[in-house]
Amino acid sequence: MSRNASWAGDRRPRVVVLGPGDRATVIAAVDNLLPTIREHADVVAVDLEFAIDLRDLQFDLAIVVGGDGSILRAARRMERRQRPIIGVNLGKLGFLADLAPVEFAAVWEEVATGRCLIADHLMFDCTVLRGGAPLHQSIGLNETAILGGPPYSIFDIELYVDAELATTYSCDGLILSTPVGSTAHNLSAGGPILRKTLPAFVFTAINPHTLTVRPVVDDADRIYELVVQRPLAATSVVVDGQLLCVLEAHDRVRVQRAEMTFQLVEVRGHSYYRTLREKLGWSGRLRG
Protein backbone atom coordinates (compact mmCIF):
# COMPACT_ATOMS: atom_id res chain seq x y z
CA MET A 1 0.00 0.00 0.00
CA SER A 2 1.26 3.49 -0.86
CA ARG A 3 0.29 6.79 0.73
CA ASN A 4 1.11 10.45 0.34
CA ALA A 5 4.15 11.92 2.06
CA SER A 6 3.23 13.32 5.49
CA TRP A 7 5.15 16.57 4.93
CA ALA A 8 3.38 17.37 1.62
CA GLY A 9 2.64 21.09 1.34
CA ASP A 10 3.25 21.63 5.04
CA ARG A 11 6.86 22.68 5.61
CA ARG A 12 10.41 21.87 4.65
CA PRO A 13 11.07 18.29 5.74
CA ARG A 14 13.58 17.57 8.47
CA VAL A 15 16.06 15.00 7.19
CA VAL A 16 18.97 12.92 8.43
CA VAL A 17 21.71 11.76 6.07
CA LEU A 18 23.16 8.33 6.80
CA GLY A 19 25.85 6.16 5.27
CA PRO A 20 28.94 4.04 5.94
CA GLY A 21 31.73 6.57 6.43
CA ASP A 22 34.45 3.95 6.01
CA ARG A 23 33.92 4.17 2.24
CA ALA A 24 35.53 7.10 0.46
CA THR A 25 32.88 7.01 -2.28
CA VAL A 26 30.14 7.51 0.32
CA ILE A 27 31.90 10.48 1.92
CA ALA A 28 32.40 12.09 -1.50
CA ALA A 29 28.78 11.46 -2.53
CA VAL A 30 27.42 12.95 0.71
CA ASP A 31 29.60 16.03 0.31
CA ASN A 32 28.33 16.48 -3.25
CA LEU A 33 24.66 15.93 -2.36
CA LEU A 34 24.42 18.05 0.80
CA PRO A 35 24.08 21.43 -1.01
CA THR A 36 21.23 19.99 -3.11
CA ILE A 37 19.56 18.47 -0.05
CA ARG A 38 19.77 21.76 1.88
CA GLU A 39 18.05 23.68 -0.92
CA HIS A 40 14.73 22.01 -0.06
CA ALA A 41 15.10 20.50 3.43
CA ASP A 42 16.49 21.11 6.90
CA VAL A 43 19.32 18.69 7.67
CA VAL A 44 19.12 17.86 11.38
CA ALA A 45 21.99 15.34 11.35
CA VAL A 46 24.66 13.77 9.16
CA ASP A 47 25.73 10.41 10.59
CA LEU A 48 28.32 8.41 8.68
CA GLU A 49 29.03 6.07 11.58
CA PHE A 50 25.45 5.00 12.40
CA ALA A 51 26.11 6.29 15.90
CA ILE A 52 23.07 8.52 16.47
CA ASP A 53 20.07 7.12 18.33
CA LEU A 54 17.39 7.56 15.65
CA ARG A 55 14.57 6.39 17.89
CA ASP A 56 14.21 9.75 19.67
CA LEU A 57 15.51 12.10 16.97
CA GLN A 58 12.81 14.30 15.44
CA PHE A 59 12.95 14.00 11.65
CA ASP A 60 10.66 13.27 8.72
CA LEU A 61 12.89 11.45 6.25
CA ALA A 62 16.20 9.56 6.15
CA ILE A 63 18.45 9.79 3.12
CA VAL A 64 20.69 6.73 3.08
CA VAL A 65 23.76 6.83 0.86
CA GLY A 66 25.40 3.49 0.16
CA GLY A 67 23.50 0.32 -0.67
CA ASP A 68 20.81 -2.03 0.59
CA GLY A 69 22.97 -3.07 3.54
CA SER A 70 23.09 0.56 4.69
CA ILE A 71 19.30 0.79 4.45
CA LEU A 72 18.91 -2.37 6.56
CA ARG A 73 21.27 -0.81 9.09
CA ALA A 74 19.24 2.40 9.16
CA ALA A 75 16.01 0.47 9.69
CA ARG A 76 17.59 -1.40 12.60
CA ARG A 77 18.71 1.90 14.16
CA MET A 78 15.15 3.25 14.00
CA GLU A 79 13.83 0.07 15.65
CA ARG A 80 10.12 0.59 16.43
CA ARG A 81 9.99 4.22 15.31
CA GLN A 82 10.34 3.76 11.58
CA ARG A 83 10.48 6.83 9.35
CA PRO A 84 10.49 7.03 5.52
CA ILE A 85 13.77 6.25 3.78
CA ILE A 86 15.07 7.18 0.33
CA GLY A 87 18.18 5.36 -0.82
CA VAL A 88 21.06 6.59 -2.98
CA ASN A 89 22.82 3.58 -4.46
CA LEU A 90 26.60 3.29 -4.44
CA GLY A 91 26.55 -0.50 -4.09
CA LYS A 92 26.25 -3.35 -6.58
CA LEU A 93 22.54 -4.17 -6.96
CA GLY A 94 20.46 -1.81 -4.88
CA PHE A 95 16.90 -3.14 -4.82
CA LEU A 96 16.06 -0.71 -2.00
CA ALA A 97 18.70 1.93 -2.66
CA ASP A 98 17.47 2.33 -6.20
CA LEU A 99 18.59 5.85 -7.15
CA ALA A 100 21.97 6.79 -8.57
CA PRO A 101 23.27 10.13 -7.20
CA VAL A 102 22.36 11.98 -10.41
CA GLU A 103 18.84 10.52 -10.29
CA PHE A 104 18.44 11.59 -6.67
CA ALA A 105 19.39 15.17 -7.56
CA ALA A 106 16.78 15.17 -10.34
CA VAL A 107 13.88 14.06 -8.12
CA TRP A 108 14.85 15.57 -4.77
CA GLU A 109 12.74 18.73 -5.08
CA GLU A 110 9.65 16.62 -5.81
CA VAL A 111 10.33 14.39 -2.80
CA ALA A 112 11.07 17.31 -0.48
CA THR A 113 7.85 19.06 -1.44
CA GLY A 114 5.79 15.91 -0.88
CA ARG A 115 5.20 14.99 -4.52
CA CYS A 116 5.98 11.36 -3.88
CA LEU A 117 4.46 8.28 -2.31
CA ILE A 118 5.51 6.26 0.72
CA ALA A 119 5.18 2.47 0.43
CA ASP A 120 4.76 0.42 3.61
CA HIS A 121 6.53 -2.93 3.68
CA LEU A 122 6.30 -5.89 6.00
CA MET A 123 8.69 -6.13 8.95
CA PHE A 124 8.84 -8.93 11.50
CA ASP A 125 9.54 -9.64 15.15
CA CYS A 126 11.92 -12.52 15.85
CA THR A 127 11.99 -13.88 19.40
CA VAL A 128 14.08 -16.78 20.71
CA LEU A 129 12.37 -18.58 23.59
CA ARG A 130 14.27 -20.86 25.94
CA GLY A 131 12.24 -22.84 28.43
CA GLY A 132 9.20 -20.85 27.31
CA ALA A 133 10.74 -17.49 28.28
CA PRO A 134 11.95 -14.83 25.80
CA LEU A 135 15.76 -14.84 25.61
CA HIS A 136 16.60 -12.70 22.57
CA GLN A 137 14.46 -10.42 20.40
CA SER A 138 15.00 -8.43 17.23
CA ILE A 139 12.95 -6.74 14.54
CA GLY A 140 13.92 -7.40 10.93
CA LEU A 141 13.21 -6.42 7.37
CA ASN A 142 14.79 -9.08 5.15
CA GLU A 143 14.88 -12.48 6.79
CA THR A 144 15.38 -14.77 9.73
CA ALA A 145 17.77 -17.60 8.92
CA ILE A 146 18.61 -20.74 10.86
CA LEU A 147 22.17 -21.63 9.83
CA GLY A 148 24.06 -24.75 10.84
CA GLY A 149 27.63 -23.55 11.01
CA PRO A 150 30.55 -25.90 11.70
CA PRO A 151 30.82 -28.90 11.56
CA TYR A 152 28.60 -28.23 8.50
CA SER A 153 26.44 -31.33 8.72
CA ILE A 154 22.83 -31.60 7.65
CA PHE A 155 20.37 -31.10 10.52
CA ASP A 156 16.62 -31.04 11.16
CA ILE A 157 14.46 -27.93 11.58
CA GLU A 158 10.83 -28.26 12.66
CA LEU A 159 8.39 -25.67 11.33
CA TYR A 160 5.24 -24.89 13.31
CA VAL A 161 2.47 -22.70 11.88
CA ASP A 162 0.04 -21.34 14.47
CA ALA A 163 1.36 -23.99 16.90
CA GLU A 164 0.71 -26.86 14.46
CA LEU A 165 3.65 -28.87 13.14
CA ALA A 166 3.81 -28.22 9.40
CA THR A 167 6.96 -30.12 8.42
CA THR A 168 10.49 -31.05 9.39
CA TYR A 169 13.25 -29.90 7.07
CA SER A 170 16.50 -31.87 6.75
CA CYS A 171 18.84 -29.31 5.26
CA ASP A 172 21.86 -27.04 5.70
CA GLY A 173 19.63 -24.20 6.91
CA LEU A 174 16.30 -22.46 6.50
CA ILE A 175 15.42 -18.92 5.42
CA LEU A 176 12.17 -17.25 6.46
CA SER A 177 11.99 -14.18 4.23
CA THR A 178 9.78 -11.15 3.76
CA PRO A 179 8.91 -9.93 0.25
CA VAL A 180 11.58 -7.22 0.60
CA GLY A 181 14.10 -9.91 1.50
CA SER A 182 13.00 -12.24 -1.29
CA THR A 183 15.60 -10.73 -3.65
CA ALA A 184 18.41 -11.24 -1.12
CA HIS A 185 19.51 -14.51 0.57
CA ASN A 186 16.22 -16.17 -0.39
CA LEU A 187 16.83 -15.58 -4.11
CA SER A 188 20.39 -16.92 -3.89
CA ALA A 189 19.03 -20.10 -2.28
CA GLY A 190 16.55 -20.65 -5.13
CA GLY A 191 13.50 -19.04 -3.53
CA PRO A 192 10.85 -17.05 -5.42
CA ILE A 193 10.68 -13.29 -5.88
CA LEU A 194 7.69 -11.76 -4.10
CA ARG A 195 6.29 -8.33 -4.85
CA LYS A 196 7.56 -6.10 -2.05
CA THR A 197 4.11 -5.07 -0.83
CA LEU A 198 2.69 -8.60 -0.43
CA PRO A 199 1.63 -9.50 3.14
CA ALA A 200 3.42 -12.85 3.13
CA PHE A 201 6.47 -14.82 4.23
CA VAL A 202 8.40 -17.35 2.14
CA PHE A 203 10.25 -20.39 3.53
CA THR A 204 13.27 -21.59 1.56
CA ALA A 205 15.39 -24.54 2.67
CA ILE A 206 19.12 -24.38 1.97
CA ASN A 207 20.30 -27.58 0.24
CA PRO A 208 17.40 -29.77 1.41
CA HIS A 209 18.02 -33.49 1.64
CA THR A 210 14.94 -34.43 -0.44
CA LEU A 211 14.04 -33.16 -3.90
CA THR A 212 10.37 -32.77 -2.98
CA VAL A 213 11.13 -29.85 -0.64
CA ARG A 214 10.21 -26.60 -2.34
CA PRO A 215 9.83 -22.99 -1.15
CA VAL A 216 6.48 -22.22 0.47
CA VAL A 217 4.70 -18.84 0.60
CA ASP A 218 2.23 -18.25 3.42
CA ASP A 219 0.18 -15.54 5.12
CA ALA A 220 2.04 -12.89 7.13
CA ASP A 221 -0.66 -12.91 9.81
CA ARG A 222 0.26 -16.34 11.13
CA ILE A 223 2.75 -17.16 13.88
CA TYR A 224 5.74 -19.23 12.76
CA GLU A 225 8.05 -21.14 15.07
CA LEU A 226 11.26 -22.94 14.17
CA VAL A 227 12.71 -25.60 16.48
CA VAL A 228 16.02 -27.46 16.20
CA GLN A 229 15.85 -30.44 18.55
CA ARG A 230 19.49 -31.43 17.99
CA PRO A 231 21.46 -28.35 16.93
CA LEU A 232 25.05 -28.50 15.80
CA ALA A 233 27.71 -26.79 17.89
CA ALA A 234 27.30 -23.48 16.03
CA THR A 235 23.67 -23.61 14.86
CA SER A 236 22.58 -19.97 14.96
CA VAL A 237 19.71 -17.56 14.40
CA VAL A 238 20.67 -14.73 12.04
CA VAL A 239 18.40 -11.72 11.45
CA ASP A 240 19.19 -9.54 8.42
CA GLY A 241 22.76 -10.80 8.41
CA GLN A 242 23.32 -10.14 12.14
CA LEU A 243 23.86 -12.97 14.60
CA LEU A 244 21.06 -13.06 17.17
CA CYS A 245 22.19 -16.09 19.15
CA VAL A 246 23.50 -19.65 19.07
CA LEU A 247 20.69 -22.14 19.56
CA GLU A 248 20.42 -24.80 22.22
CA ALA A 249 18.26 -27.91 21.98
CA HIS A 250 14.50 -27.20 22.12
CA ASP A 251 14.84 -23.40 21.73
CA ARG A 252 11.90 -21.97 19.80
CA VAL A 253 12.46 -19.23 17.23
CA ARG A 254 9.18 -17.34 16.87
CA VAL A 255 8.64 -15.06 13.85
CA GLN A 256 5.56 -12.92 13.32
CA ARG A 257 4.48 -9.71 11.65
CA ALA A 258 5.74 -6.60 13.43
CA GLU A 259 3.44 -3.73 14.32
CA MET A 260 5.61 -1.22 12.48
CA THR A 261 6.34 -1.19 8.75
CA PHE A 262 9.39 -0.31 6.71
CA GLN A 263 8.64 2.91 4.83
CA LEU A 264 10.27 3.42 1.43
CA VAL A 265 9.93 6.53 -0.73
CA GLU A 266 8.64 5.81 -4.25
CA VAL A 267 9.74 8.14 -7.03
CA ARG A 268 8.61 8.52 -10.61
CA GLY A 269 10.16 6.27 -13.22
CA HIS A 270 11.24 3.56 -10.82
CA SER A 271 8.59 0.87 -11.08
CA TYR A 272 8.78 -2.58 -9.54
CA TYR A 273 9.44 -4.45 -12.78
CA ARG A 274 11.87 -1.85 -14.06
CA THR A 275 13.94 -2.40 -10.92
CA LEU A 276 13.89 -6.18 -11.37
CA ARG A 277 14.65 -5.89 -15.07
CA GLU A 278 17.65 -3.65 -14.54
CA LYS A 279 19.06 -5.15 -11.35
CA LEU A 280 18.72 -8.80 -12.43
CA GLY A 281 19.71 -8.22 -16.04
CA TRP A 282 16.47 -9.50 -17.54
CA SER A 283 16.86 -8.93 -21.27
CA GLY A 284 14.02 -11.05 -22.64
CA ARG A 285 16.31 -13.02 -24.91
CA LEU A 286 19.19 -15.47 -24.65
CA ARG A 287 22.69 -14.35 -25.41
CA GLY A 288 24.97 -16.74 -27.23
C-beta separation of 180 from 262 below 8 A? yes
Nearest-angstrom CA–CA distance, 242 and 13: 32
**Residue of 55, 97, 263 lying closest to 184 (CA atoms):** 97
Residue type, 3: R
Which one-letter amino acid corresponds to residue 62? Answer: A
Q: Report the C-alpha gap between 69 and 46 in whole angstroms.
A: 18
Active site residue 68: yes
What is the b/e burial string over 16-52, where b = at least 16 CB atoms within 10 angstroms of the residue's CB? bbbbbbebeebeebbeebeebbeeebeeeebbbebee
Q: Which of 68, 98, 125, 172 is catalytic?
A: 68
DSSP secondary structure of 109-141: HHHHTT-SEEEEEEEEEEEEEETTEEEEEEEES
Question: Any idea which residues carry the catalytic annotation?
Answer: 68
